[in-house]
Amino acid sequence: MSCISVNALSKSYGSFKVLDSISFDVDYGKVFGFLGPNGAGKTTTIKILTTLIKPTEGNAKILGYDLLKDEQKIRSRIGIVQQKISLENNLSVLKSLELYGMLWNVQKRIREEKIEEVLDVFGLREIKNSKTEELSIGQRRRLQVAREFIHDMDLLFLDEPTVGMDPNARRILLDYIKKKVSDGLTVFFTTHIMEEAEYLCDEIAIINKGRIVTIDSPQSLRKRYGSIKMVELRLKEPFDRNVLNYDGIEIDNNIVRIVSDNAEEMLAEIVRRLHDNGIYIESLHVDSPTLEEIFLSIIDERYEKGN
**pLDDT for the residue 239:** 85
Based on the fold, state whether residues 132 and 268 are members of the same structural domain: no
Average pLDDT of the chain, as a whole number = 90
Based on the fold, state whether residues 208 and 132 are members of the same structural domain: yes
Whether residue 91 lies inside any domain: the answer is: yes
Based on the fold, state whether residues 183 and 195 are members of the same structural domain: yes
Number of domains in the chain: 2
Q: Kindly report the pTM of this predicted structure.
A: 0.80
Whether residue 9 lies inside any domain: the answer is: yes
Terminal Cα-to-Cα distance of the chain (whole angstroms): 38
Based on the fold, state whether residues 25 and 88 are members of the same structural domain: yes
| CATH code at position 65 | 3.40.50.300
Based on the fold, state whether residues 182 and 258 are members of the same structural domain: no
Based on the fold, state whether residues 124 and 182 are members of the same structural domain: yes
Which position has the higher pLDDT, 297 or 103? 103
Based on the fold, state whether residues 101 and 246 are members of the same structural domain: no
Give the confidence band of 109 by pLDDT, cuts at 50, 70, 90. Answer: very high
**pLDDT for the residue 212:** 95
Based on the fold, state whether residues 204 and 231 are members of the same structural domain: no
| Domain assignment of residue 176, given as a range | 4-224
Based on the fold, state whether residues 211 and 138 are members of the same structural domain: yes
3-state helix, strand, coil in the chain (%, to 5): 40, 25, 35
Give the confidence band of 228 by pLDDT, cuts at 50, 70, 90. Answer: low
Give the confidence band of 261 by pLDDT, cuts at 50, 70, 90. Answer: low
How far is 69 from 194, CA to CA, in rounded Å?
Answer: 35
Percentage of the chain lying above the pLDDT 70 cut: 96
Give per-residue pLDDT as tens, 205-221. 999 999 999 999 988 88
Nearest CA to 88 among 126, 41, 33, 143?
143
Give per-residue pLDDT as tens, 123-168. 999 999 999 999 999 999 999 999 999 999 999 999 999 988 999 9
Q: Fill in the amino acid letter for 5.
A: S
* Phi, psi torsion values for 177, nearest 5 degrees: -60, -45
Based on the fold, state whether residues 208 and 278 are members of the same structural domain: no
Based on the fold, state whether residues 122 and 49 are members of the same structural domain: yes
Based on the fold, state whether residues 70 and 208 are members of the same structural domain: yes
**pLDDT for the residue 229:** 64
| CATH code at position 249 | 3.30.70.1560
Cα 282 to Cα 178, 233, 238, 241, distances in angstroms:
38, 8, 12, 17
**pLDDT for the residue 48:** 97
